[in-house]
Amino acid sequence: MTDVASQGPTSGDEREVLTDRQGHPIHDNQNQRTIGARGPATLENYHFLEKISHFDRERIPERVVHARGFVAYGEFEATGKWGDEPIATYTRAKLFAEPGKKTDLAIRFSTVIGGRDSSEATRDPRGFAVKFYTEDGNWDLVGNNLAVFFIRDAVKFPDVIHSLKPDPVTFKQEPARIFDFMSQTPESMHMLVNLFSPRGIPADYRHMQGFGVNTYRWVNAQGESHLVKYHWIPRQGVKSLTEQDAANIQAGNLGHASEDLYTAIERGEYPQWDLYVQLMSDEDHPELDFDPLDDTKVWPENDFEPKLVGTMTLNRNVADHHNENEQIAMGTGVLVDGLEFSDDKMLVGRTFSYSDTQRYRVGPNYLQLPVNSAKNATVRTNQRGGQMSYGTDLAPGQNPHVNYEPSITGGLREAQYPTEDEVGPEVRGRLTRKRIPLTQDYKQAGQRYQLMEQWEKDDLVANLVANISQAVRDVQERMVWHFLLCDDELGLRVGEGLGISPDDVRQLPPLQSQTLSEEDQQRLTNLG
């Protein structure tokens, strides 16, 4: 007899006994219940059925983007100031208010395109999503490591992601498909110049920046608002990988970035990021040559100086990957008093999309899970029921029969509005479907190239040529045309790599989907 179970419990064994989820002790975890030692099996075998059917459901759908990621916990310590000024001048959000004020947080770093077990050394934006558990409820700041994005209107998100995801037939990521889409999407040039530079493969999660990317608003106690952009700067410094470094790493380890973060925290080497904020008055800015609500643009730091507002320290790892990493749910709609949306056309789409996918991916009661619940605020809703509902959030003394509002028989009441009215400028317009008037798709992409060190420029050009060369000739020509409009040298060098001269592309008309600025028109005339 070699079966462990058949040896029976040994006396003096102090370990806890295995049970099923009903609390029944498991006497034999090695053998199904069968008729005779060689079967057949019986169906009235609760332990076996519970075990196997729970296993059958162990996975939830992976995120449609950012499927591979890693969570850690920590705290945010506020300076109480924006640079030298009291922060209350700009926002009444309590988490920023006092110098030294600490707020618990969870962060999830991620890659975007690959599946849940894919490589963490790919050329891909990295997610940088922070959930602050504030006393006023949760605030999610869902950002990326690159300061800009491919598109400026949420209606194009499924298209840009489909182009970057594997081919629907061969299931292989194809540069030809990516550049087919990007060549028709001029606003993507700024992102491409970043993504195909060394910054496109961060060395790991500890050595990368984070950006809110979209424009938000801050509101003070008087109801005055400012536009705001967020920047996380790592105290560890910024490090990136070349294609070759990345290839070497992923040959032996697909999860080096998660491992690096996890082991650093286990060693007590707690990574830190400073949070800097750029502010701009919340009004029209005719003096700017870009639209401040356009997430394909950065705000020039000379004109809009980023100023320190606090520091994040990560000091604790997750206890369970599935519960805390797979089931954490963040979204751009999750804001606290003093922090607001802007009219950025990506934000509204994102705000719908995140909680919509989470109700499908995790379930309608995803906000009751410990990692998602507003643990430092009081939660009192009239929400009841739904799959996996987990208790009610009744206040002490609340009439349990009243799950509606208004009521005069012991239900919940509305909070007082912090200001007299909603905040922000008055907006007038007629229903339309138009791109923003000031698109300026090339200038900042060109400036980004000009600011690179020589080795970064060389790496960018080599990466672009290697990828664009896999696209059809018309796509290659259009990409060279775009890059010539960004910066002469960049266009000439990519063109040279592809065997395409300015004369080959001079006659191309602008795309129907673009508005060229006067400056761009001028450059087009002198192309090359």
- For the annotated catalytic residues, the residue numbers are 66, 144
Position 154 contacts ligand HEM (CB under 6 A): yes
Shortest spacing between CB 54 and ligand HEM, in angstroms: 23
From the list 170, 259, 177, the residue with the least C-alpha distance to 470 is 177
Quick count: other Cβ atoms within 10 Å of Cβ 430?
4
Query: Contacting ligand HEM (CB under 6 A), which of 47, 48, 65, 324?
Result: 65
Shortest spacing between CB 350 and ligand HEM, in angstroms: 4
Q: x/- string (CB under 6 A) for ligand HEM, residues 343-372?
A: ---x--xx--xx--xx--x-----------
Identity of the residue, 348 or 508, whose beta carbon is nearer to ligand HEM in the bound complex: 348
CA distance 270 to 73: 10
Q: Which two tokens stand for residue 426?
A: 């008055």
Position 229 contacts ligand HEM (CB under 6 A): no
Query: Contacting ligand HEM (CB under 6 A), which of 72, 87, 93, 129?
Result: 129
Q: Which two tokens stand for residue 241?
A: 């990988």
CA distance 98 to 266: 30
Residue pair 304/298 in contact by the 8 Å Cβ criterion:
no
* Number of residues in contact with ligand HEM under rule CB under 6 A: 29
Position 318 contacts ligand HEM (CB under 6 A): no
| Torsion angles phi and psi, residue 138, rounded to 5 | -80, 150
Identity of the residue, 312 or 330, whose beta carbon is nearer to ligand HEM in the bound complex: 330
Q: x/- string (CB under 6 A) for ligand HEM, residues 265-294?
A: ------------------------------
Identity of the residue, 83 or 349, whose beta carbon is nearer to ligand HEM in the bound complex: 349
Residue 373, exposed/middle/buried by CB under 10 A (0-12, 13-18, 19+)?
A: middle
Position 182 contacts ligand HEM (CB under 6 A): no
Shortest spacing between CB 184 and ligand HEM, in angstroms: 18
Position 72 contacts ligand HEM (CB under 6 A): no
* CB-based burial, 442-472: b 16+ in 10 Å, e otherwise: bbbbbebbeebeeebbebbbbbbbebbeebe
Residue pair 352/130 in contact by the 8 Å Cβ criterion:
no
Quick count: other Cβ atoms within 10 Å of Cβ 167?
13
Residues that bind ligand HEM (CB under 6 A): 63-66, 69, 108, 110, 127, 129, 142-144, 149, 154, 157, 213-214, 295, 328-330, 346, 349-350, 353-354, 357-358, 361
